[in-house]
């Protein structure tokens, strides 16, 4: 399995993740909400690949928040599994991004989700346009 982070624009961003005991329930199965945490990390690294970090965006009064999520679980992850978390941009709108994300163990699909994130003003949490430079970079890489 590839142990490095893939770059934006390569179709599907990939982030390797190891399952630790803190990610599991008492039976050694990945606790269901932790798949969302893994997906958040992949989206964060996806944006970092374009040169944008959450704290820098917040410093410019922008923040991305999850607007909605549809998730489907197929098979459980287990302690010590090496997983790959994907993030593929399905739509880049004026004020939001839609992602299709998957959690894989090798070729086996464990979990998949459609996640919409909205860009908001950090101080008011009101919707706003994605910063123009970021939107241009995303559109350039994903066309």
pLDDT tens digits, 71-87: 999 999 999 999 999 99
pLDDT tens digits, 17-54: 999 999 999 999 999 999 999 999 999 999 888 888 77
Give the whole-angstrom CA distance, residue 117 versus residue 98. 6
Catalytic residue among 25, 60, 98, 123: 25
Of residues 6 and 128, more confidence is placed in 128
Question: Could you confirm whether 25 is annotated as catalytic?
Answer: yes
Residue 56: Cβ within 10 Å count? 12
Of all residues in the chain, the percent with pLDDT exceeding 90 is: 73
pLDDT of residue 1: 38
Question: Which pLDDT band holds residue 140 (cuts at 50, 70, 90)?
Answer: confident
SS3 73: strand
The DSSP bridge partners found for residue 70 are 114
Question: Which pLDDT band holds residue 2 (cuts at 50, 70, 90)?
Answer: very low
- What is 13-141's CATH topology? Thiol Ester Dehydrase; Chain A (3.10.129)
Strand 62-73 versus strand 13-18 pairing type: unpaired
Domain layout of the chain by residue ranges:
13-141
pLDDT tens digits, 94-117: 999 999 999 999 999 999 999 999
């Amino acid at each position: 399995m590839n142990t490095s982070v893939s770059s934006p624009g390569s179709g599907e961003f990939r982030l390797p993740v190891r399952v630790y005991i803190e990610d599991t329930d008492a039976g050694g199965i990945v606790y269901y909400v932790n798949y969302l945490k893994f997906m958040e990390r992949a989206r964060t690294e996806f944006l970092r690949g374009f040169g944008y970090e959450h704290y820098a965006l917040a410093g410019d009064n922008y923040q991305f928040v999850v607007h909605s999520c549809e998730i489907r679980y197929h098979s459980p992850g287990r302690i010590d599994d090496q997983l790959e978390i994907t993030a593929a941009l399905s739509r880049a709108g004026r004020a939001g991004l839609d992602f299709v994300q998957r959690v894989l163990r090798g070729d086996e699909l464990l979990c998949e989700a459609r996640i919409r994130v909205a860009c908001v003003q950090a101080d008011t949490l009101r919707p706003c346009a994605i910063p123009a430079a970021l939107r241009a970079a995303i559109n350039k890489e994903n066309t």
